[in-house]
């Protein structure tokens, strides 16, 4: 094999790495925060919808993100009214879209997850409503403070008294009116203890250490390729279990496509890395590990709170969701560090082998 052929192959390899790196940088523009709709990916709290009584035809109610939001979709053709916390007019959801009373204190309190928005002095629960249209579609999601715990610093008293066991924090009810029918939306807010740190953190450390050791200590690049394949599998699972977001934000299909784009890029990089490892090209395998690890971190870091909370926002089992994020974060960082080690270790032998190949040609 001539020196010119070796140089051409090296240039092609460098060009491939540059192109994949550019794609990796572009991927940062749309990270996997979309996986959870921009909210928290994990929580020790969980809100469950128990009943809608009576159930109006064409009306759908959902509790989103552990009780963070309440969503109502009204395709009944009748007007649906949601009162504020003092019974004042707050929302109208009907065929002409969503109208919100600018004078209702709930309009301002519900803008923030913890009700920290200042309520203007002009707000009134007795004045005639001042309706403002906020959507042309008959659907709306808002932070209803009856469905979630409002403190960031204090646990509910029942939880603080015995934090090692699951607890029911509160049973809640949100009233609605559909046409002339009064409807009660009932649910339950619960709390569960997070996973034991002594059990899960050693696993996270192993996921971090394995690709680092594969890159810095293994005789060849194939152990690093195994870590690459595992990262790609976790990336695909994480994308495919994207939960259904609020209908006011995007469709479930759109959220899946957005998540899968990054996962497919990870898969492409992993395939290139595995192929390079099978051919004994340690430097290229290491470079692919660095790129894949970076992409896994971009995908997993927005959901990192899943690692230490009881519940995960996912369409799949919570345990598998936590495992996938652990591979994305700990394994992703390990691939970056292990890839750097592989590039350093295999770079000089590759350079020394090139003149020998050229001399034998």
Distance CA 260, CA 257 (A): 5
**Residues near 37 by Cβ (< 8 Å), separated by ≥ 6?**
64, 65, 243, 245, 246, 249, 255
CB neighbour class for 6 (10 Å; exposed up to 12, middle 13-18, buried from 19): middle
Predicted local confidence at residue 153, as pLDDT? 87
Predicted local confidence at residue 361, as pLDDT? 44
Range with lowest mean pLDDT among 106-120, 175-189, 246-260: 246-260
Distance CA 149, CA 326 (A): 27
Report CA-CA distances (Å) from 266 to 300, 356, 358. Answer: 12, 35, 35
CB neighbour class for 222 (10 Å; exposed up to 12, middle 13-18, buried from 19): middle
Best CA proximity match to 58, nearest among 194, 176, 231: 176
Question: How does pLDDT run across 87-127, given as a tens digit for each residue?
Answer: 999 999 999 999 999 999 999 999 999 999 999 999 999 99
Beta bridge partners of 112: none
Question: How does pLDDT run across 254-278, given as a tens digit for each residue?
Answer: 888 889 999 999 999 999 999 999 9
Mean pLDDT (the chain) is: 88
Q: What is the pTM of this model?
A: 0.83
Q: Give residue 26's pLDDT band: very low, low, confident or very high (50, 70, 90).
A: very low
**Range 197-204 average pLDDT:** 96
Percent of the chain with pLDDT strictly greater than 90: 78
Query: Is it the case that residue 338 has pLDDT exceeding 90?
Result: yes
Give alpha helix (H) positions in the chain. Answer: 3-27, 105-109, 157-161, 197-216, 222-240, 252-278, 282-300, 318-326, 332-360
């Amino acid at each position: 094999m001539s020196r010119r052929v070796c140089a051409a192959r090296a240039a092609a390899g460098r060009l491939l790495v540059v192109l994949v790196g550019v794609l990796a940088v572009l991927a940062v523009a749309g990270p996997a925060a979309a996986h959870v709709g921009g909210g928290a990916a994990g929580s020790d709290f969980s809100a469950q919808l128990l009943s809608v009584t009576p159930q109006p035809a064409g009306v759908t109610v959902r509790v989103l993100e552990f009780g963070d939001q309440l969503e109502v979709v009204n395709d009944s053709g009748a007007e649906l009214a949601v009162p504020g916390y003092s019974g004042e007019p707050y929302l109208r959801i009907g065929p002409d879209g969503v109208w919100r009373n600018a004078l209702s204190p709930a309009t301002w309190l519900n803008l923030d997850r913890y009700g920290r928005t200042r309520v203007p002095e002009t707000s009134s629960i007795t004045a005639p409503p001042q309706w403002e249209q906020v959507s042309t579609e008959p659907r709306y999601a808002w932070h209803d403070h009856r469905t979630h715990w409002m403190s960031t610093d204090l646990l509910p008293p029942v939880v603080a008294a015995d934090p090692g066991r699951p607890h029911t924090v509160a049973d809640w009810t949100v009233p609605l009116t559909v046409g002339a029918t009064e409807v009660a939306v009932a649910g339950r807010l619960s709390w569960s203890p997070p996973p034991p740190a002594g059990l899960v953190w050693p696993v996270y450390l192993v996921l971090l250490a394995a690709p680092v050791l594969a890159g810095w200590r293994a005789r060849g690049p194939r152990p690093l390729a195994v870590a690459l394949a595992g990262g790609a599998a976790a990336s695909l699972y994480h994308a495919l279990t994207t939960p259904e977001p609020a209908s006011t934000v995007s469709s479930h299909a759109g959220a899946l496509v957005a998540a899968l784009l990054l996962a497919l890029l990870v898969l492409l990089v992993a395939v290139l890395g595995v192929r390079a490892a099978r051919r004994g090209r340690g430097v290229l395998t290491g470079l692919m590990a660095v790129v894949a690890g970076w992409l896994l971190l971009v995908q997993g870091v927005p959901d990192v709170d899943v690692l230490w909370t009881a519940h995960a926002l996912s369409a799949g089992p919570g345990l598998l969701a936590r495992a996938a994020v652990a591979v994305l974060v700990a394994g992703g960082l390990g691939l970056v560090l292990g890839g750097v080690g592989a590039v350093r270790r295999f770079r000089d032998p590759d350079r020394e082998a090139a003149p020998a190949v050229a001399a034998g040609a």
